[in-house]
Each structure stands twice: as structure tokens, then as C-alpha cells.
A = this chain, B = another copy of it.
Amino acid sequence: MGFKAYLHKVQYYETDQMGVVHHSNYIRWFEESRVDFMEQIGSNYDALERDGYISPVTSVKCDYKTMAKFGDSVYIITKLERFNGITFSLTYKVIDSVTKELRAIGESNHCFINGKGKLISLKKENTKYYGLLLETVGKEMEEF
């Protein structure tokens, strides 16, 4: 079973004076889609934080191909690329919802930290969440 692509409607406040979406918002769209992806695999980030863990972004990148505009909607397609029990990588594709034109591709890396700010092994500390991530590696949201 695949995952449902995440749909985002471009907001006016996301534009800049170039008349297109400000590039920093794509980093936020990655997060929107990532949260949705985590919910779809049966976990959710909100619950993870309530359990006392946080999962900070250790790096992010984005390659801009074409420009999203106000009036557009875009799909942000997330894929869990790699997970070793301690860190994980996600990749993203941003695609226009109508023309399917590629707007951007990106990647983010993450780890898990407990309430004391220490890096943890999910394999040891949260078997359920570990299992969920492990079986999701390589799977991707369906494009449309």
C-alpha cells in the first residue's frame, strides 16, 4: 500500500516581491508533508513529543527547479530514504498539482533526542516507533 501525497495550497503570505513563493517556505512544506507522512505510517510527531522525545532536523537542503505561485497548489511527496535506528533521511518532491511540473526536490536528516538532550537509539528506547520507521524505508507517497 502506498501513502497519499500531501497537498498544500499556496498562500498569499508565502509569496515575496518576486511574485513567487519565497524559497524558505519549501523547507516548511517539507515539514508539513513529513508530519503528514508520519501520521500515515501510524505514528505521529505530537505523540512522540508527549513521550518525551524530540526529533530535530540535523540538515536540510532544497533544489529549486521552477517557481510555485499564489493560486497554485502543490503536492509534496515524502519518502523515507534511510533509517539506521538512530538517524533517518527523508527526501521530498514538490510537484504542481495540475501540471505535475516539478517545482523542487529536497532532503532532510533527523535524529532522536530524549528529554535530557541526549541522542538516543530508537531501537532500544521505542520498539514500536522503531518498527514503524523500519518497515517504511523506501516507501513513498503516491504522486497523485
A11 at the interface (CB under 8 A from B): yes
A31 pairs with B60, CB closer than 8 A:
no
The answer to whether B18 touches A54, judged by C-beta atoms less than 8 angstroms apart, is yes
Contact of A12 with B31 in the complex, beta carbons under 8 Å: yes
| Chain B hits for A20, CB < 8 A | 17, 56
The quantity of this chain's copies bound in the complex is 4
Interface 1/0 per residue, A95-135 and B, CB below 8 Å: 00000000000000000000000000000000000000000
Find chain B residues with CB under 8 A from A136 CB: none
- Which of these, B19, B60, B63, B70, contacts A23 with CB under 8 Å? B60
In the complex, chain B residues whose CB is within 8 Å of the CB of A17: 12, 15-20, 49, 70
Contacts of A142 in B (CB 8 A): none
Give the chain B neighbours of A22 by CB distance below 8 A.
Answer: 12-13
Interface size class of A (residues with CB under 8 A): 35 or more
Mask for A1-26, Cβ within 8 A of B = 1, else 0? Answer: 00000000001110111111011110
Contact among B24, B58, B71 with A13 in the assembled complex (CB-CB below 8 Å): B24
A117 → chain B closest CB, angstroms: 9
A15 closest partner in B (C-beta): B17
List 5 other contacts, CB 8 Å, given A17-B20, A60-B62: A12-B45, A13-B24, A18-B56, A59-B64, A60-B61
